[in-house]
């Protein structure tokens, strides 16, 4: 029986449907849908027939998805198949993430235009089911931000959480948010939050600690993937915001402890009453 990947919405111009289908042909059959209603009907039929679904891809810019989103996520929540959300960090994107978490679904996030849909889908299909359904660092940080931040600052923090898996500059964060660096600074300041540079330093620390303690990756590999010269440089970045080197932060705080500290020191305590 073939492995199906239902996809709602058209891939980006640089990743047209034919290219995506060719890239996936040895792994899965892409089943594209023009409307959310068609996708929902197909999912229900596929679940009844026990078809093998490798992943469900939702492009949140798809027309008509807003009204159908709760039903689609509810249907996916009844099954173990992974969900990949292709989105920009808008209010709809935040709502979709909340709906997923509330339904017990841990989606993988593919952010336009920063991430490659083709690469993200390929990685998801190669994952062991237990890893694919596990909450990622991205999702954990974004979920924390949604609970603590509102208004124009929320998409900035959420986008930082997504692209912060690599060491990026403030200008790159502004570009990913589709605003200028000054507007970026102003929106964070108005929300009582930290500077963009410090926010990105926190993201490096959070992603690194997750990769080492939960992802079980070597510090040397984590540093390399993040675009840093060495584990020593990574440790220095972590120490700037935590007061601890990499090993100490892993042993004393772990990811959950560091996320709690980020919430208390950066998000909640700085939020206007």
154-211 confidence digits (pLDDT tens): 989 999 998 898 899 999 999 888 899 999 999 999 999 999 999 999 999 999 999 9
Percent of the chain whose pLDDT exceeds 90: 46
Average pLDDT over residues 136-150: 88
pTM, entire model: 0.79
Angstrom distance (rounded) from CA 249 to CA 213:
10
Angstrom distance (rounded) from CA 133 to CA 103:
13
With beta carbons less than 8 A apart as the criterion, state whether 194 and 266 touch.
yes
153 to each of 98, 200, 238, 255, 272, how far by Cα in Å?
17, 14, 23, 23, 12
Which of 39-48, 122-131, 183-192, 227-236 is predicted least confidently? 122-131
Is residue 92 domain-shared with residue 172, that is, in the same domain? no
CATH number, domain at 29?
3.40.50.2300
DSSP for residue 78 = T
Residues written for the chain: 273
Helix (H) or strand (E) holding 1: none
Angstrom distance (rounded) from CA 80 to CA 262:
31
Q: Please name the residue that has the structure tokens 């124009």.
A: 152
CA-wise closest residue to 117 among 74, 61, 196? 61
CATH number, domain at 162?
1.10.10.60
Domain assignment present for residue 105? The answer is yes
How many domains are contained in the chain?
Answer: 2
Q: 220 falls in which pLDDT band (50, 70, 90)? A: very high
Give the pLDDT confidence score for residue 223 in this predicted structure.
95
> What does the CA dihedral 123, 127, 131, 132 come to, rounded to 10 degrees?
60
Q: 134 falls in which pLDDT band (50, 70, 90)? A: low
Domain with 209 in it: 140-268
Picking from 134, 149, 177, the residue at the C-terminal end of a domain is 134
Picking from 113, 134, 155, the residue at the C-terminal end of a domain is 134
Give the pLDDT confidence score for residue 44 in this predicted structure.
93
Q: Is the pLDDT of residue 273 over 50?
A: no
């Amino acid at each position: 029986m073939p492995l199906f990947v239902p996809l709602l919405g058209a891939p980006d111009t640089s990743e047209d449907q034919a290219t995506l289908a060719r890239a996936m042909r040895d792994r899965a059959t892409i089943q594209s849908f023009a409307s959310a209603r068609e996708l929902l009907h197909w999912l229900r039929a596929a679940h009844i027939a026990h078809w093998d679904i490798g992943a469900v891809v939702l492009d949140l810019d798809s027309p008509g998805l807003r009204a159908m989103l709760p039903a689609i996520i509810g249907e996916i929540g009844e099954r173990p198949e992974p969900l990949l959300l292709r989105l920009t960090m808008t209010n709809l994107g935040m709502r979709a993430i909340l709906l997923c978490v509330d339904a017990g679904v841990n989606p993988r996030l593919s952010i336009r235009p920063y991430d490659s849909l083709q690469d993200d889908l390929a990685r998801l299909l190669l994952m062991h089911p237990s890893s694919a359904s596990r909450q990622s660092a991205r999702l954990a940080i974004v979920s924390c931000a949604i609970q603590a931040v509102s208004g124009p600052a929320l998409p900035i923090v959420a986008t930082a959480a997504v692209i912060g898996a690599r060491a990026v500059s403030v200008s790159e964060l502004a570009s990913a948010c589709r605003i200028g660096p000054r507007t970026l600074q102003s929106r964070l300041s108005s929300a009582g939050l930290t500077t963009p540079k410090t926010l990105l330093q926190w993201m490096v620390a959070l992603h690194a600690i997750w990769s080492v303690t939960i992802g079980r990756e070597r510090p040397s590999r984590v540093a390399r993937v993040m675009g840093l010269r060495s584990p020593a440089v990574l440790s220095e970045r972590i120490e700037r915001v935590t007061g601890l080197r990499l090993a100490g932060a892993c042993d004393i705080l772990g990811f959950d402890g560091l996320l709690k500290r980020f919430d208390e020191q950066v998000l909640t305590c700085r939020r206007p009453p």
